[in-house]
Chains A and B, each alone.
Chain A
Amino acid sequence: MKLSSKQKQQARTAYLFIAFPLVIFGVFTFFPILFAFFISFFDWNLLIHDKPFVGLANYFELFQDRVFLISIKNTIVYTIGVVPIQTLLALVLAFIMNQKLKGRAFFRLAFYLPAVTSSVVTSIIFVWIYSKPGLLNYLLSLIGIEGTDWLTNPGTALFAIMALNIWTTSGYFMISFLAGLQSIPQSLYEAAKIDGANAWQQFWKITVPMVRPVTYFVIVLGLIGCFQVFDQIYVMSAGGPVNSTTTMSYFTYNNSFKFFRLGYGAASAIILAFIIFGATWLQKKYLPSEAY
C-alpha cells in the first residue's frame, strides 16, 4: 500500500507520540527478555568477571534439579487449582451483582476491594488468619474441628495460598465479567422468559455463551498470573515448608538473586515463558474466544 504524503506525515506524528513509551518498552521490557535468553547460555555470576559460555548446560542441570521439578509441579497444581475456580467464581459473582439487589454498590465494592489492595498487605493479613491461633482455626473450633498451622504444614500451605489468590483475583475479574454482562441485550433474556426458561437455564444458555470473549480474556490473564505467582509466596511462605510452595518464579528469584546464579535463574525463567506460551496457545486452539 502506498501512503499519500499526508498519511506519511500523520504516521510520523503518530510515531513521535509513541516514541518515548516505545523506547521505555524496548529498554525495560524487550531488551531484558532478549538478554535473559542470552545469559541463560552462560554461567553468569554478576560478581565474577569471568562468565563462561556453557551452552545448554543450565537447561540440562535444571531438569536434573529436584527443586526445579518440584517447582514445576507446584506451579501447575497452583494454576489448575486457581484458574477454573476464580473464573467460575468471578462469573457467578458478576451474575449476582448484575441483578437488581439492595446494597449492590456495597457488594461490588466489597468484592473488588481485594483486587486494589497491595498483595503484600493481603498476604500479611492472611498469614495471621492462617496461623495456629488465627481466625480460621477459631472458626473451625466453633464447629469442633481442630485446625493445623496452615502455612507450616507442607500438606496445606500451597492450598492456603491458592485460596488467598482466588479471593483476591475473582473480584478483579468480576468487573470484567460485569462489563460483558451489561453488553448482553436484555431482549435475549426476555425471549428466554417467554419460552419458559428459569434463572439457571438463562445463566447457562444465555449468559455463559454471550460472555465467552470475556471468559477467554479472563482465563488468559488468569493463566499468566498464576504461572508467575511470586509475591504471595515471597511474603507468606518463602517457598517453604519443605519446598511445598516453591513456584517457578520463586525458584528463579532465589537462584538469580540469592544463590548468585543469574544464568541458571534466567534459564528457568525461559522455561517458564515457554510453558506460559504453550498453555496460552493450547487455550487459543481448543477454547477460542469466538466459537459461534
Chain B
Amino acid sequence: MLRKQSIWVILTTTFWGTIILFGCSSPQSNLLRLSSWVSSPSETELFKATLDDFRRQKPDLAFKYEPIPGNYSEKLQLMLGTRTAPDIFFLKGMTAPSYMSFGILNPLDDLISQSPNFDLDDFYPFALEAFQYEGKQYGLPKDFNPYVLFYNKKLFRDQGIDSFPSNWQELEMMSRQLTLDQDQDGKTDQYGFIVEPSIEMVMPFVYQNGGNFQNPDGSLGITDEPFIEALKFYHGLYKNGIATMAQDQGVAWNGDAFGRGICAMAISSGWLIPFLKDNYPDLEYGILPLPMGKQKATVAFTTAYSMPKATKYENEAWEIVNYLVGKDGMESWTKTGIAMPTRKSVAKANGFHDHPTFKVFMESAEFARPFQVQYSERGFEEVVVALQAIFYTEKEPRKAMEDIEAQIKKYRLVGSK
C-alpha cells in the first residue's frame, strides 16, 4: 500500500518538475534586437533585404530582427516597462511626444556628433523635428509619406474635365461635377471625393487655412476660427453629398473605394500605390499635390529608429541605425519608392525628383508638416469621438470642438512646456 503511494508521489513530482523546468528555460537570447511593426509582407521582405545589406558590410556585428506582428504600441509599452525592449525599434511620429516625455528613450545627440560623416543637415527639417523634445534628438527618421491627391483619369475624362483642382473652390466644384447618378434612381453611384472622420485627414485643411491643433505658444487651437472653418469645409463636402465615406459604401477604407471607382478623387499616400497595383492593376490614376487653401500644406507621416535608455548595446545599436539612416542604407530601403527618403541627397540619388509619381511626393515635402501635439493619446481619442459625432450624428462642428476643449486640456503631457 505504502509502496504504491510513494510511486504516485514520485510520478507526480517528476511530471510537474519537468513542466516547471521546461517552463523556465527562457528563449531570451543575449543578442542585440531590432523590432518593427508588420504592415505588409512585401514591406517586411524589403526591410530584411536592407538588413542583409548591412550584414554583408559588418558581418561581425550580430543582431536579431524580431518583427512584432500586431498590437505594436501595446507590446512596446509592456516591453519598455519591463526592461525587455528591443535595442532598436520603430517609433511613429504621431506618438513620439508621449514616449519622449516619459524619458525612456536614449538621446542620440552625442552619438550623432561622434559620427563626423553623419550630416544632419541633409535631412528634411520637418522629419527631424518630429523626434525632438526639449532640445534633444530621440529618434532618426527612416522615411516619410505625405498626403497627396489621387485622381481617377478615366472618370475625369468621362466628364470632360481636363484641369486639376489646385484650390478648395476647384476641389469642391470638380467633386460636384464628378458626383453622378448614372442610372437615375435617385441614389448617387459615383462621388467626386471621399472623406474620413479622422484628425489626420482634417489637419492638412487646417494647416492650409493657417490653423493648428496646438498653436506655437502651446495653447489649443481646435476652437480657433481657421480650424473650425477648415473642418466645416471638409465636412461640407460630405454634407453636400459630393463626397462619401468608406463606411457608407461598405468598403474597408478610402483606397478601396478609390480603386473601385466609387470616388474620383481621394487623399492618401505612398501606401496606396502598391495596394492599387495588387488589387486594381488596370486603374488609370494620377497623383497631384493637395489643392491649396490660403497656403500650401500637407501632413507627412514619419517613422524613426529609436533606442531605449536601458539598452546594453548603445554603440552597436548606433552602428546599425547609422547605417540604416545613412546614405547607403536609406537608398537601399527607399529605392523602390515604398516610402520617401528623409535625406535630400538620397531623394536625388534615387532620381525621385524626376520620377513621374514620386516627384509629387518630393514637391509635397517642401510644405509638409508632421502632425504632432503635446497631448496624451486620450486627447486624440476625444477628437476622434468628436469627429464621429460630426460625421455620423450631424453635430455642429463648432459645438463638437467646443464641447471637448476643456476635456482635452486636461490631457496635456506631463513635463511638456
Residues of A within 8 A of B (CB): 9, 13, 16-17, 19-20, 45-48, 66, 131-134, 149, 151-154, 240-243, 254-255, 257-261
Contact = CB atoms under 8 A, between A and B. Distances in A.
A47 B5 contact: no
A202 to B, nearest CB: 47
Interface in B364-402: 376-378, 381, 384-385, 388-389, 392-393
B356 to A, nearest CB: 35
B416 interface: no
A16 B8 CA distance: 10
Given A16-B9, A48-B103, A260 B376 contact: yes
A19 B15 CA distance: 12
B163 to A, nearest CB: 33
A243 B393 CA distance: 12
Interface of B: 5, 8-9, 12-13, 16, 19-20, 73-74, 77-78, 80-82, 98-99, 102-104, 247-250, 376-378, 381, 384-385, 388-389, 392-393, 407
Contacts of B16: 19-20
Contacts of B389: 154, 241-242
Contact of A48 (B20, B102, B388, B393): B102
Given A13-B5, A257-B77, A258-B74, A47 B104 contact: yes
Contacts of A260: 77, 98, 102, 376-377
A9 B171 CA distance: 85
Given A16-B13, A20-B16, A259-B378, A66 B98 contact: no
Contact of B102 (A13, A47, A149): A47
Contacts of A154: 388-389, 392-393
A241 B77 CA distance: 26
A241 B81 contact: no
B392 A259 contact: no
Contacts, number: 81
Given A242-B388, A257-B74, 14 more contacts: A13-B8, A45-B102, A46-B78, A47-B77, A47-B80, A47-B81, A48-B103, A132-B247, A133-B249, A149-B247, A154-B392, A242-B392, A258-B377, A260-B377
Contacts of A242: 385, 388-389, 392-393
Which of A9, A45, A134, A153 has the most B CB atoms < 10 Å from its CB?
A45
A67 to B, nearest CB: 8
Contacts of A257: 74, 77-78
B388 A240 contact: yes
B81 to A, nearest CB: 3
A16 B377 CA distance: 48
Nearest to B71: A257
Given A240-B385, A258-B377, A153 B392 contact: yes
A149 B385 contact: no
A152 B377 CA distance: 22
7 contacts: A46-B80, A152-B388, A154-B389, A241-B392, A241-B393, A242-B385, A259-B377
Contacts of A151: 247
Contacts of A16: 9, 12-13
Nearest to A257: B74
Nearest to A47: B102
